[in-house]
């Protein structure tokens, strides 16, 4: 079995695995190791142990680098001197950024142990053309210069601060790496979905939502079975409503076409059925009927007129005829003549067209077309 140790290069940083070799290394010691950036001095946070079988399957040899040596007092003094130089380099770089008027915010500087490279960490809203800045810094420090853009979460980790709970930020105190956090975790924990209450100082979701997410997820899935969408189902997501256009049952994901004409792929756990479109089945698959007795409705019966009694028949016809206008009594869709559907009395009551002022009113002269100049 291969032996390994865990080394961390900065507080609350990521733990890297190295091979201790034959040296006697204990947790808390400082060692000099070789990384992709060059020689680095780090602190041992995990003592000597054997690589787990799950991470070292049979027939597989992991590429774990061996430590260079155990740090001495001279090495520790050199590390302290590099930290002092980092503060000076930070001020010089800020002056050069202001001189070139670049839209970037410098948050930190890091020297390698052998001063073979200087790394400047900055944040920016977009891409920055810092070619002239690198040329000036290389001329001043006479070494390799690397400018690395980081996100807002890395910025909060580097600067530190106090969270909404009153304690130091988790990312700057003990979290080695950022875990993926989603809005579903806040829903399962029955928290308010107000962005100001579930977001940290970096503007992203709180990292502590991940701590108890697994337990809440188990309890939530017991009480809320997972919704299995099908194609053409109307669903609701965090981005809004939409319709399912594809389903992957193996990965348990669905592709949804939102109302904004945007296509997204989400997990089944983040999908909820739309209200008002749930198919309700009655018992025994038989439709239910309503009885009049339940509502105490008394049926109304209308006796049809006797055809033999002509007086009764004429009274019914006259009753409905009086409710219609005079010109609509003889109305028919097939044979309709406007003149025949008005009686003589109605024709005499019509206003003469010559007496209507809007008929004989002169028309407004039309504007001539084209560009004519009088």
CATH of the domain at 126: 3.30.300.20
Same domain, 168 and 211: yes
Same domain, 140 and 167: no
Nearest to 259 by CA among 275, 276, 237: 237
3-state helix, strand, coil in the chain (%, to 5): 30, 20, 50
**pLDDT score for 247:** 92
**pLDDT score for 252:** 86
Which residue ranges in the chain fall short of pLDDT 50? Answer: 59, 276-297, 299-300, 316, 320-321, 323-324, 326-336, 338-341, 348-354, 374
Tokens of 277: 């479109």
Same domain, 46 and 99: no
Same domain, 114 and 129: yes
Same domain, 94 and 67: no
The span from the CA of 351 to the CA of 358, in Å, is: 12
The 10s digit of each residue's pLDDT in 317-374 is 555 445 445 444 444 444 445 444 455 555 544 444 445 555 555 666 666 666 555 4
In a domain, 366, yes or no: no
66: three-class secondary structure by DSSP: strand
Nearest to 119 by CA among 156, 150, 95, 79: 150
The enclosing H or E element of 57 equals none
Q: Among 223, 238, 262, which residue terminates a domain?
A: 223
The span from the CA of 324 to the CA of 372, in Å, is: 57
In a domain, 105, yes or no: yes
In a domain, 83, yes or no: yes
In a domain, 163, yes or no: yes
DSSP conformational letter for 269: G
Q: Residue 130 CB: number of other CB atoms within 10 A?
A: 21
**pLDDT score for 293:** 47
Same domain, 216 and 235: no
Q: What does 297-324 look like in DSSP terms, one character per residue?
A: PPP---PPPPSS-HHHHHHHHHHHHTTS
* Beta partners for residue 255, in sequence order: 246, 265
**pLDDT score for 314:** 54
In a domain, 308, yes or no: no
158-197 in b/e burial notation, b at 16+ Cβ within 10 A?
beeeebeeeeebbbbeebeeeeebbebbbbbbeeeeeeee
Sheet with 234-236, edge to edge strand ranges: 263-267, 253-258, 241-248, 234-236, 272-273
Same domain, 207 and 255: no
The span from the CA of 33 to the CA of 236, in Å, is: 51
Dihedral of the alpha carbons of 202, 205, 208, 213, in degrees to the nearest 10: -160
Half-sphere exposure of 372 (CA within 13 A, CB side): 5
CATH number of the domain enclosing 283: 2.30.30.140
The span from the CA of 41 to the CA of 71, in Å, is: 8
Same domain, 215 and 230: no
Q: Among 277, 301, 325, which residue terminates a domain?
A: 301
**pLDDT score for 54:** 59
Q: How many domains does the chain have?
A: 4
Same domain, 186 and 128: no
In a domain, 353, yes or no: no
The 10s digit of each residue's pLDDT in 108-140 is 999 988 888 999 999 998 888 888 999 999 999
DSSP conformational letter for 268: G
Q: Among 284, 301, 318, which residue terminates a domain?
A: 301
In a domain, 317, yes or no: no
Same domain, 96 and 131: yes
The contacts of residue 155 (CB under 8 Å, 6+ apart) are 105, 107, 123, 202
**pLDDT score for 53:** 62
Same domain, 240 and 278: yes
Which backbone phi and psi does 31 adopt, to 5 degrees?
Answer: -135, 155
Same domain, 22 and 55: yes
In a domain, 242, yes or no: yes
Range of the domain at 177: 157-223
């Amino acid at each position: 079995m291969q032996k390994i140790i865990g080394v961390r290069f900065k507080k609350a940083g990521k733990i890297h695995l190295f091979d201790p070799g034959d040296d006697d290394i204990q947790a808390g010691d400082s060692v000099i190791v070789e990384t992709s950036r060059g020689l680095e001095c780090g602190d041992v946070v995990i003592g000597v142990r054997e690589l787990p079988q799950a991470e070292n399957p049979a027939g597989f040899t992991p590429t774990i680098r061996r430590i260079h040596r155990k740090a001495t007092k001279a090495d520790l003094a050199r590390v302290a001197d590099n930290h002092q130089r980092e503060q000076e380099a930070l001020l010089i770089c800020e002056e050069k950024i202001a001189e070139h008027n670049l839209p970037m915010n410098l948050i930190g500087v890091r020297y390698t142990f052998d001063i073979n490279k200087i790394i400047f960490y900055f944040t920016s809203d977009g891409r920055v053309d810092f070619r002239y800045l690198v040329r000036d810094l290389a001329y001043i420090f006479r070494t390799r210069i690397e400018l690395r853009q980081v996100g807002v979460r890395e910025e909060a980790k580097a600067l530190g601060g106090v969270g909404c709970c009153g304690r130091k930020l988790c990312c700057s105190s003990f979290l080695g790496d950022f875990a993926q956090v989603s809005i579903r975790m806040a829903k399962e924990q029955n928290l308010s979905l107000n962005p100001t209450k579930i977001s940290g100082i970096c503007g992203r979701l709180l990292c502590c939502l991940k701590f108890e997410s697994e337990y809440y997820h188990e309890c939530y899935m017991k009480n809320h079975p997972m919704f299995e969408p099908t194609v053409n189902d109307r669903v609701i997501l965090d981005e809004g409503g939409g319709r399912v256009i594809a389903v992957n049952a193996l990965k348990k994901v669905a592709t949804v076409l939102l109302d904004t004409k945007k296509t997204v792929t989400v997990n089944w756990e983040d999908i909820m059925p739309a209200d008002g479109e749930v198919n309700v089945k009655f018992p025994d698959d038989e439709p239910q009927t309503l009885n009049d007795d339940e509502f105490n409705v008394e049926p109304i019966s209308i006796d049809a007129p006797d055809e033999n009694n002509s007086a009764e028949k004429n009274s019914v016809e006259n009753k409905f005829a009086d409710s219609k206008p005079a010109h609509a009594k003889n109305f028919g869709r097939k044979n309709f003549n406007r003149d025949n559907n008005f009686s003589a009395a109605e024709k005499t009551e019509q206003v003469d067209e010559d007496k209507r002022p809007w008929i004989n009113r002169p028309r407004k002269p039309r504007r001539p077309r084209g560009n004519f100049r009088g």
